[in-house]
Structures are given as structure tokens and as C-alpha cells.
Amino acid sequence: MITLKAFAKINLTLFVGEKRPDGYHEVETIMHRISLHDKIQLTRAPDISLNVMKGNISSDSDNLMWRAAELFLKKMNISGGVHMTLHKEIPTGAGLGGGSADAAAVIYGLHQLYEIPFSLSYWSEQSAVLGADVPFSFLSGAALCTGIGEKIAPLTPALSLPLIIIKPPLSISTIDAYKILDEYNSTERKTIHEKSTDKMIQHINQNIPIPTSYFHNDFEKPLCRLYPELQEIKSYGEKIGIPAQMTGSGAAFFFVCQNKDNQLFLFKKIKKDHPHWFLAQATTI
């Protein structure tokens, strides 16, 4: 049996281009792995099976872990299977890449289980069929991701930034989020795009504090306009003086804290003020 951790990610920047003829959107995003993670156990078996020990998600062939196992077995020409156990800690419908992280962990773990050398370059290309965030999920640290997310340029990581992850009792599918974004005026997005990515990369590479004005997510404004639950988090961040940054296509946000003590103080305060929100302390890794 093999036990693995599947780490979540946050988007420090996320710019979305126009829809392509194949239905996908071009993106330019800086992603960073964080310490919040799911736990996965893999055991050799004659067939594929999945047991979800913690978390309210499907355990059949619709699950991305199942599809990842099928893809691995097909690509590696293996007739066997795997029994998978999932302890879910990363919330779903959050923009934290939990499903993609689980899929990447399954592929990586199956290489160990079947004693086959793992190729990052091979799976960075092949795993994109499972989801745009899957290729990044094989990496640690930070990266600039372009294309539909499958083109990855590693960056110097901004290690140990103390974070608070917040999600309201609301989940947004990626498909729905893109539909909403497509209807939103893109003029402002393009203007900001020209300024933000290079400055963010410069600050990350030089390991200097990142101004909050450099964080950006194209999904944030249109989704906050439509969902009061999201705007409530943005307004709360303004009230306590720490900007709430959306990650992915929502519905989760993150606060970048000053230090560990500040992180713990804010975590307790938010938990008291909004007990219905999902909360987690994390760091960039």
C-alpha cells in the first residue's frame, strides 16, 4: 500500500482569454502549491475501485481519481487495477484544484505501486485531458501556466506565506464560472493583464513582499456580482483590513497574513464571526 498527499493550489494571478474553437479558454495564471491536502491510499487490485472515507463526493467512474487510474493503466498497458481510499480535506467547487491534485497523486502513486519510472514531461502533456490544473499538480512550488493551463514554466516559490483559506457554503462549477465570465465585459481585464503578471513574477523571484494590488483574478468581479455569499467575504476582508483574494473559478478565497501569530488571531476571529464558512490555515510550499 502507498499513502500520498494531494496538495491544493491557489492562483496568485488568473487572466482568462477568449474562448477557443475547441471550447477551452486560453489562460495565464501564476499558481502556487499550498499545504492544505487530501490523503490518498493506493493498493494493487484486479480492478479499479474507490472508497471515500471522508468527503461528500462520488466514488464511481465519474470521479477524477478513477479516470486518472484508467488513463494510467491504458497508457502503461497494464491489465491490473487499484483500490483507492480518499480522505478529503480540500473543499470541492472551491477553485483550489483538489480534484486535479487527487488525480495527479493517483498517477504518481501508481508509478510507485507498479514500479514504473515517472516522467514529468510525459504526464504534463498526457494528463491535461483530465483537467487543466492536473499538469501543475505534479509540481511543488510555483509556476506560470499558460495555454489551457498545461504549459508550465516553474518559478521560484514564495515559500511559507501564512494563509487563511475561506469558502462559503456555496460551490461553483468551472463550467458555470466560465459561462458567467464570458458574459462579462473584458476591457478592464485586458488592461490589468498588461501590468500584473510580470510584476508578480519579479516579486516572487526576488523573494520580496507582494503588494496586494498585484493579486488578480478575472473571475472575482463577475462572480461576486452574481453571488452575495462571495461578496460577503470580499466585504469582510475590507472590514478587517486584509483583501480577500479569489482562487481559481471560486468559490474559495485566501487571506495572506503578516505572520503565524496574525494568522492564528485572524483564524479564531473569522471562525467566531462566521462559523458557517469553511476555514483552514495553510502555507505556500
**DSSP secondary structure code for residue 169 in this structure:** S
Phi then psi for 284, rounded to 5 degrees?
A: -75, 140
Residue with cell 502507498: 2
CB atoms near residue 195 (< 10 Å): 12
Distance of CA 163 to the CA centre of its chain: 14
Catalytic residue flag (residue 19): no
* 3-state SS assignment for residue 108: helix
| Contact of 87 with 38, CB cutoff 8 Å | yes
Cell 483574478, residue located: 217
Cα dihedral: 260, 245, 217, 91 (round 10):
90
- Burial label, 232 (beta-carbon count in 10 A; 0-12, 13-18, 19+): middle
Whether the Cβ atoms of residue 237 and residue 243 lie closer than 8 Å to each other:
yes
Active site residue 133: yes
- The single residue of 38, 88, 102, 133 carrying the catalytic annotation is 133
Catalytic one of 9, 88, 167, 218 = 9
Which are the catalytic amino acids? Answer: 9, 133
